[in-house]
Amino acid sequence: MRFLLLALLSVSSLALAHPGHEYSHSALLAGLLHPLSGLDHLTMGLGLGILLARTFKQARFMGLALLLVTVTGGFMLGMAHMVPVSIAEYGIVASLVVLAVALWQRSTSIFLAMVALLGVFHGLAHGAELGTGMNPLNFMLGMLVTLGALYSVGLLAGQLIKRHIKQGERIVAVLIGVVALLGLT
């Protein structure tokens, strides 16, 4: 486990935030489109949904609520510049990998803790990088709507894979590994 953490720290600078704040004329539009503009958000939204298809029903909805609340809290902290963006980027990578490991071992409590950390770190990064003159409330609202939609699509996909595809549980398990690997790139 220590080796894994050291490996994460050595490559996490590759996870730098992507473009997607360029719609300064409409903060809501920027927020709606931003989660679709980078692999980190697609991984977080779709990946969490797929991964949560493997957990108890209560954890699925708690996971979504926790994600949305912690992204919002992290966003506010990021806007206040209380934490350096570089720490947020490292945290995103580390939490994605630990998240996948927690699901692999079916640890709901660790999983939910990692969902919270992932949300806080994503929120921190985007709050700190918010374009000047952009309405933060509208941007955050748009981002939460799209993240929630990605999460829901991922959850539905994970459930469909498990139910309707032979070896569906194995496919979901492989997707857990893919989420961990994407966190490293």
Q: Give pLDDT, residue 183.
A: 55
Q: How far is Cα of residue 34 from the mean position of the Cα atoms in its chain?
A: 13
What was the pLDDT predicted at 140? 93
- Residue 24 is predicted with a pLDDT of 53
User: What is the rounded average pLDDT of the residues 30-58?
Assistant: 77
When comparing pLDDT for 130 and 145, which is higher?
A: 145
Mean pLDDT to the nearest integer, 90-115: 74
Is the pLDDT at 145 greater than 80? The verdict is yes
pLDDT at 75: 94
Task: List pLDDT tens digits, range 4-43.
Answer: 344 444 444 334 444 444 555 788 998 899 888 877 677 7
- Token duo for residue 171: 């496919």
Comparing C-alpha atoms, which of 20, 17, 18 is closest to residue 139? Answer: 20
**pTM of the complete model:** 0.73
3-state secondary structure the chain: CHHHHHHHHHHHHHHCCCCCCCCCCCHHHHHHHHHHCCHHHHHHHHHHHHHHCCCCHHHHHHHHHHHHHHHHHHHHHHHCCCCCHHHHHHHHHHHHHHHHHHHHCCCHHHHHHHHHHHHHHHHHHHHHCCCCCCCHHHHHHHHHHHHHHHHHHHHHHHHHHHHHCCCHHHHHHHHHHHHHHHHHC
Residue 152 reports pLDDT greater than 80: yes
Query: What confidence category does residue 141 fall into, taking pLDDT thresholds of 50, 70 and 90?
Result: very high
Nearest 5 degrees, angle CA 127-CA 87-CA 141? 20
Of the pLDDT bands very low, low, confident and very high (cuts 50, 70, 90), residue 83 is confident
Q: What average pLDDT does the structure give for the chain?
A: 75
Task: Give whole-number Cα distances, 91 to 27, 36, 85, in Å.
Answer: 26, 20, 10
